[in-house]
């Protein structure tokens, strides 16, 4: 079909056609009212001719006043329908008023019979809307001829699915033709929406084959994540392209366009049910508080800052030694008009004098300690640096929190601290032990939160795989059987805040990380999501375990158990207690070894502090013998 040019209907032409439609509608009204075969033409002709100028004037005034001719016909919407009805109705009322004035005050003859005006009102509206929707349909049909016909299904038959279909229909740059809807609601199965069938999610694989579906667009506001993952897995297994409609809160200027439809992310395969937090209690906890966040420029620290800003704190101190990432966070907060809630401090947690000045200046009531060295192979090669940052830096902050009567101190730990097999994990375990033992000193409540890998965090496997895919591969996996727990950055930080709020001191909170994920399977799915074929377009290379790396992570040490809390995704670990004075002296002995730069001595003492620390695939395995 011929694609209609954009200027097919200039305003003056639309206005003229609308007036012609009004005249035709008036004639049709006469034919309907008086029966075309027996129309008393002679008796009505004079009334018709005498009233026609007033009729045209009334229609002209109302059409112009409501500007129904200014709408872009190819994009006719419900608002345009509303204006057509208001314009036509106003004109009819004006005609009825004029007709009454003529009858009662002039010559006792109506301009038009009331029945004619009523019929003409409905006919005019019908003809005007038919004209507009005919242009729209011609335009949409013309668009389809310019598209590659790729059978497309929309997952979601609610308002967002409908908006997605309308947007796809009216934009010429989208390849694909919507042929059906998929929905989780069994009550909708067998129904239709805008002439297209709705199928239940359970029938997806059959529908993909029978209708040769090439694309599926996820368009549900709050999907059931289990069903969503099933849909994605089925699509990946059948080589169907998967696209995602963003949340309405992310629509540009509140409007949705096809440019916002993006390929599904690997995070969407691993995301779980949304976390429900007690917002009122969190607001009461952090309202008007001065809060210090260490490692504020990092993945976890920066997200903690973003979420804390929602609870109206007095001031958030952003402490980090990385100046460029802190500057970028400042610019982000400034764009969101939140910069006034924060104060940036460039500092190294290993520098006690600098930290002392920070505590004296800002007097924080809350500390979220997220600063740490976290890369396992790097710390395996540099134990002294892990010692200074993860152990000594944490000790500095704990001691200052006690000294300055900080209300709560939340240590961000890791599952690698559990039965550690590497220097980094052991250094975090020592930090845990020291923070927990400090609960016996002063009034500060020390709380530890422990969770696994965070999706998309700096240096994590997801960004690495993305870079490797962009470079053409290969994707590197250390072992085909290696597994990890994953959690998104926002959900990890939500649970950190909730744990901090509920903590009374001494607790180690363990987060429900869901099911562990095989890294190899993750790599395969990322390849498929990128539209590449494994083994043909890109390869996966098995490189062997890195120093200190283990096949699977744990969330509890030997002898630990958990008890539930009021939040179903937060558990409390039962841990043994340590004497503060004893562990403090041991850490002083440990940090004193830094000057000697003897890695073997450092690691040996770390193993003495944490007996469950057994090195794996490391030069320090000899110390375990």
Residues taking part in catalysis: 416
CB 604 within 8 A of CB 624: no
In angstroms, the Cα distances linking 183 to 153, 186, 266, 462, 463 are 10, 8, 22, 30, 32
Q: How far apart are CA 430 and CA 598, in angstroms?
A: 19
CB 411 within 8 A of CB 446: yes
Q: What is the DSSP string of 432-443?
A: HHHHHHGGGSSS
Give the DSSP H or E segment for 420. Answer: none
Helix axes 519-529, 461-470, angle to 10 degrees: 40
How many CB atoms are closer than 10 A to CB 99?
21
Phi-psi domain of 366 (left: phi exceeds 0; alpha: psi -120 through 50; beta: other)? beta
Alpha helices by DSSP H, listed for 346-488, are 352-362, 376-381, 383-386, 394-403, 423-437, 461-470
**For strand 486-488 and strand 570-574, is the pairing parallel, antiparallel, or unpaired?**
unpaired
Q: Which of 209, 161, 211, 212 is nearest to 188 (CA)?
A: 161
Q: How far apart are CA 436 and CA 576, in angstroms?
A: 10
Backbone angles phi, psi at 129, to 5 degrees: -75, -40
Backbone angles phi, psi at 125, to 5 degrees: -60, -45
Q: How far apart are CA 506 and CA 439, in angstroms?
A: 6
Cis peptide before 474 (omega within 30 of 0): yes
Backbone angles phi, psi at 13, to 5 degrees: -70, -40
Q: How far apart are CA 457 and CA 325, in angstroms?
A: 13
């Amino acid at each position: 079909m011929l694609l209609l040019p954009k200027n097919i209907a200039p305003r003056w032409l639309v206005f003229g056609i609308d007036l012609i439609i009004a005249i035709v509608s008036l004639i049709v009204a006469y034919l309907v009212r008086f029966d075309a075969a027996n129309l008393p033409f002679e008796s009505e002709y004079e009334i018709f001719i005498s009233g026609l100028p007033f009729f045209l004037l009334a229609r002209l005034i109302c059409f112009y006043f409501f500007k129904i001719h200014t709408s872009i016909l190819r994009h006719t919407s419900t608002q345009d329908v509303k204006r057509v009805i208001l314009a036509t109705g106003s004109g009819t009322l004006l005609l009825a008023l004029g007709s009454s004035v003529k009858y009662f005050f002039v010559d006792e003859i109506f301009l038009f019979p009331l029945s004619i005006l009523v019929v003409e009102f409905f006919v005019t509206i019908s003809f005007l809307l038919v004209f507009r929707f005919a242009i729209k349909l011609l335009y949409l049909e013309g668009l389809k001829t310019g598209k590659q016909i790729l059978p497309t299904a929309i997952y979601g038959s609610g308002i967002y699915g409908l908006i997605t279909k309308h947007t796809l229909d009216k934009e010429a740059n989208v390849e694909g033709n919507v042929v059906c809807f998929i929905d989780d609601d069994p009550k909708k199965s067998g129904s239709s929406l805008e002439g297209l069938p709705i199928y239940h999610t359970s029938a997806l694989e059959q529908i993909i084959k029978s209708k040769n579906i090439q694309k599926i667009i996820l368009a549900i506001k709050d999907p059931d994540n289990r069903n969503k993952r099933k849909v994605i897995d089925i699509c990946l297994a059948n080589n169907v392209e998967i696209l995602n409609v963003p949340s309405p809160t992310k629509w540009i200027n509140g409007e949705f366009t096809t440019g916002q439809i993006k390929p599904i992310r690997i995070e969407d395969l691993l995301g779980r049910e949304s976390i429900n937090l007690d917002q009122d209690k969190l607001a009461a906890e952090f309202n008007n508080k001065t809060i210090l966040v260490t490692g504020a420029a990092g993945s976890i620290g920066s997200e903690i800052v973003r979420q804390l800003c929602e609870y109206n704190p007095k001031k958030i101190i952003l402490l980090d030694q990385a100046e460029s990432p802190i500057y970028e966070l400042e610019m982000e907060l400034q764009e969101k008009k939140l910069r006034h809630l924060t104060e940036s401090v460039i500092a190294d947690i290993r520098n006690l004098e600098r930290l002392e000045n920070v505590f004296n200046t800002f007097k924080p009531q809350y500390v979220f300690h997220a600063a740490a060295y976290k890369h396992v192979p790097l710390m395996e090669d540099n134990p002294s640096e892990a010692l200074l940052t993860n152990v000594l830096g944490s000790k500095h902050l704990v001691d200052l929190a006690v000294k300055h009567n900080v209300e709560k101190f939340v240590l961000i730990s890791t599952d690698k601290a559990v039965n550690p097999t590497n220097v980094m994990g052991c250094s975090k375990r020592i930090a845990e032990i020291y923070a927990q033992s400090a609960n016996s000193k002063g009034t500060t409540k020390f709380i530890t939160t422990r969770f696994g890998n965070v999706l998309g965090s700096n240096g994590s496997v997801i960004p690495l795989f993305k870079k490797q895919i962009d470079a053409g591969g290969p994707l590197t996996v250390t072992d085909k059987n290696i597994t990890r727990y994953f959690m998104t950055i926002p959900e990890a930080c939500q649970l950190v805040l909730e744990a901090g709020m509920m903590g009374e001191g001494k607790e180690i909170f363990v987060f429900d990380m869901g099911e562990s994920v095989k890294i190899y399977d993750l790599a395969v799915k990322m390849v498929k999501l990128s539209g590449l074929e494994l083994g043909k377009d890109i390869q996966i290379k098995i490189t062997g375990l890195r120093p200190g790396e283990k096949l699977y992570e744990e969330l509890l040490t030997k002898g630990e158990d958990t008890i539930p809390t009021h939040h179903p995704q937060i558990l409390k670990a039962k841990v043994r207690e340590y004497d503060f004075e004893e562990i403090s002296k041991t850490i002083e002995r440990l940090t004193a070894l830094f000057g000697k730069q003897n890695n073997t001595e450092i690691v040996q003492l770390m193993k003495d502090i944490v007996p469950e620390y057994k090195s794996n695939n490391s030069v320090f395995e000899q110390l375990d013998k």
